[in-house]
Structure 1
Amino acid sequence: MKKFVSGVIVGAFLFAGVSAFADSSSLIGQKVQGLFAVEKGGTKIADAVIINGSAYAPVRAVSQAAGVGLTVEGKTIKMSEPTATPEVMANPEPMETPTSVETTNRPTISPEKAKEQKIASFKSKLATIAGSIAMTEAQLRDKPDNVEYQKKLADLKAQYAELQAQLAELQGQ
């Protein structure tokens, strides 16, 4: 009987410790404290949510806006060196004539593959905006008279409709 009781007590401690660890490392069930727009040069890139004082933004959208390459290998997201920005390309510094030609090992992308990637990008953006719409609607349920949320919802729905039209046009090509 003593072994049974001590086994139950030890089991209870083990399960309590596992659930406490799971609670500290998971965002599931956490309350979104705010929604912020991520902008670059006055253009909205994506929405970021604030949970427990930390901002969570889509890595792909932020890396594309920064001109940084992004690859995912397993559970690791790797960012590569920044590519040349439009400002640098418009005002390049004088260069010496190269003595050798450098080649890159980047594969060329077929027009069909580029179209598929662009369609996937549009679908990703649509999913992000749909999530933002859902969060804003939830905020409106809490505060139905909030004019700021109503305007934000209207703007998000307009963006969603515009992206859907662009996606339909791209798919029709």
Structure 2
Amino acid sequence: MKINFKNFGFLEFLVSASAIFVVGMLIWTASTRPAVEAKANLVKENHNKVVDLINDEINKCGNNDEGKFTVWGDPCNGEWIADKVVEYINENLKIENPFSDDSKVKTDPDPRIKAEGKAGQAVEMGVIFVMSSNFLPDPGSEWIVGTCFKSPCVAAGNNELTSIYR
């Protein structure tokens, strides 16, 4: 088989280079996908640990019995202090952030913005955010836990947002 490069011009070069680039990107994407999925799954597991801890305390406290306390020390029938909850989580749950060395759970006034990256906000991938306002004892009080595990965070399915109700 003889290849004739006599009529091989710029357009042919451009088409060949584009084809090689596309094939290379497909191979690269296929080879890195398992690692990306593993990181995303770890962040989702961390998010679920935080949500499950808070939900377990809500269930344990049940009817807001007086004299009962949460594992972080707030009274079951009182206001739960966001900073105390986050401090307990950071000290006791094994939270790992595969995207950076920052493995701390943080508080934020609106975790939705931190998890989705709205309004030009910087997003910290893998960091779990708990609503910074305290969790009121009133029935129907809402707390939001959010995180981003895949870029772009604003895209559907790339972030995790959970509303927790008392």
Give the TM-score normalised by structure 2: 0.26
Which structure features the higher share of strand residues?
1
Which structure features the higher share of helix residues?
1
Give the TM-score normalised by structure 1: 0.25
Structure number with higher relative contact order (C-alpha < 8 Å, ≥ 6 residues apart)? 2
